[in-house]
Amino acid sequence: MNCSISGEVPEEPVVSKKSGLLYEKRLIERHISDYGKCPVTGEPLTMDDIVPIKTGKIVKPRPVQAASIPGMLGMFQIEWDSLMLSNFALEQQLHTARQELSHALYQHDAACRVIARLKKERDEARAILAQAERQMPAAAAPVPAAAANAAALSNGKRAAEDDEIGPDGKRIRPGISASIISELTNCNAALSQQRKKRQIPPTLAPIDAVERYTQLNSYPLHKTNKPGILSLDVQYSKDIIATGGVDTNVVVFGRSSGEILSTLSGHSRKVTSVKFVADGELLLSGSADKTVRLWQGSEDGNYECRHIMKDHDAEVQAVTVHATNNYFVTASLDNTWCFYDLASGLCLTQVSNGSTNDGFASAAFHPDGLILGTGTSDAWVKIWDVKSQTNVANFDDHRHGPVTGPVTAMSFSENGYFLATAAHDGVRIFDLRKLKNFRTFSPYDENTSTQCVEFDHTGSYLALGGADIRVFQVANVKAEWNLVKTFPDLSGTGKATCVKFGPDAKYLAVGSMDRNLRIFGLPEEDGPSES
């Protein structure tokens, strides 16, 4: 017996008293609640007219198609066809999605190329404009140097293009005023007094920890087509690192986050030197394009170029910041160093290396700020009195070896007594009290030069780099300076170009002639995992 509504065998059969027709209980209940009449005869019908029928358990018969092998094969064929049609529809959707993705990527790549071209055209236009402004004839009435200096300081912009030209063809500089010299002297007195009370902080990494240092991370910060990190600097309070590369970019990197915070583009040739100022909101970069740029940081982590200094006639090799954080010095292969006011970007004085033609390859301020050390391309180390801008001492020790080369790096110890310099023949340590070279490290053969040297901020450790990286424990003049750790050059280039200790010497940042910044330290002292 089949249901009069569905035509199938009912699971709960009921019968109508009025018509005697058989129904499925749930179907007739729904129909009566909706219409109140018999679905077949149309007579009024209520649930009181429905009588349930007791039956045994009903087993539903198989469909007719499943009752034979040909029928089952037909069912399978229908299912297979449906599956194939569904698969074909999915493949079409995948193909369409791939086409849309390819089109979007092509548009993105085209947009990036257009943006890069526009940036290049903008920089070229700025360079042409600056050159045109420099070549414009001066006004008929000469402007006194003091007035020009005051105007530059008042509006906060560079005024190098307006400098007067002297009889010898060189620009007339305003000079270092008495007030500035007084500021430098007061800073020197305060720092010297503090140094007498200086103690090694308890948070400094101990020797046994440095001995266990290993490479923690390697970050590809610069471009692959022009690899090479030539300089780096660490801003201790924020634990950020700036690197200057052969690819003309300056990269600001957050070590704790393991991310690039900002990429600074603007130089047209390799960046040879980078230096943070004070709390890291200002950053200086020197380049082989003969310019120095002052970058201003913002709250969102980006940096904008605030000043462009164009006072040198050859590659700028070094930038060093005075302890007041109000002045800085640049050294160039044009045989001069320049003393700048940081706020205005104005070159206050430009000092020549005398009658020799040795360009400067490195420079560093003494911690107290009244002494400037420079290294020349002809292996001389020269000490200058900043107040009088006179050469007060010279060291020729790097010139005694069979092979000579430029003094590529120098670093003053925080104790104020030691100066470390790196050149082709190795690293030499000078005692500034006796003006004497009392220790020499020659880690490599005569065909391999030492590229970099750096004291940590407490003067407890000394790191040097070349074919590898070595860390020494700093001692006094008579005691032995023990080798603590040697790190292999994992870049594969055999040339570690720059090295810098992190806060409390908890890590060592190393740049090489590949594009990677490498961090050495203890695993528990490191933040993010290797990227």
pLDDT reported for residue 61: 63
Q: 404 burial class (0-12, 13-18, 19+ CB within 10 angstroms)?
A: middle
Residue 422 pLDDT > 80: yes
- Residue predicted with more confidence, 525 or 64: 64
Joined together, the tokens standing for residue 96 give 């369409």
Q: Give the residue from 20, 39, 18 showing the smallest Cα distance to 29.
A: 39
Residue 156 pLDDT > 80: no
Residue 325 pLDDT > 90: yes
CA–CA distance, 495 with 489 (Å, rounded to integer) = 7
Q: Compute the half-sphere exposure of residue 80: CA atoms within 13 Å on the CB side of its CA.
A: 6
**Residue 142 CB contacts under 8 Å (≥ 6 apart), including other chains:** 164
462-494 in b/e burial notation, b at 16+ Cβ within 10 A?
bbbbbbbbbbbbbeeeeeeeeebbebebbbeee
All domains in the chain, ordered by first residue: 11-59 (3.30.40.10), 188-519 (2.130.10.10)
Joined together, the tokens standing for residue 151 give 């105007």
Q: What is the mean pLDDT of residues 197-222?
A: 91
pLDDT reported for residue 438: 93
Q: What is the mean pLDDT of residues 451-479?
A: 94
**Residue 145 CB contacts under 8 Å (≥ 6 apart), including other chains:** 163, 164, 172, 173, 174
**What are 30-74's pLDDT values in tens digits?**
999 988 999 998 899 999 999 998 877 656 666 666 778 888 888
Q: Give the residue from 475, 474, 508 showing the smallest Cα distance to 489.
A: 508
pLDDT reported for residue 139: 38
**What are 382-418's pLDDT values in tens digits?**
999 999 999 999 999 998 877 788 999 999 999 889 9
Residue 148 pLDDT > 50: no
- Provide, rounded to the nearest whole percent, the portion of the chain with pLDDT above 90: 63
> Residue 193: in which H helix or E strand, if any?
helix 178-196
Joined together, the tokens standing for residue 312 give 């040198």
Angstrom distances, CA of residue 109 to CA of 99, 224, 465: 15, 18, 39
Angstrom distances, CA of residue 235 to CA of 67, 189, 257, 523: 83, 25, 14, 21
**What are 477-521's pLDDT values in tens digits?**
889 999 999 998 888 887 899 999 999 999 999 999 888 999 999
pLDDT reported for residue 168: 55
Q: Is the separation of the CB atoms in 246 and 222 below 8 Å?
A: yes
- Average pLDDT in the chain: 87
Angstrom distances, CA of residue 55 to CA of 7, 150, 317: 18, 112, 103
Joined together, the tokens standing for residue 56 give 């045994």
pLDDT reported for residue 355: 64
- Provide, rounded to the nearest whole percent, the portion of the chain with pLDDT above 70: 89
pLDDT reported for residue 337: 95
pLDDT reported for residue 163: 53
CA–CA distance, 415 with 405 (Å, rounded to integer) = 28
Torsion of CA 382, 386, 391, 397, to 10 degrees: -20
53-67, 74-88, 325-339: the lowest-pLDDT one: 53-67
- Residue predicted with more confidence, 1 or 28: 28
**Banded pLDDT at 97 (limits 50, 70, 90):** very high
pLDDT reported for residue 155: 40
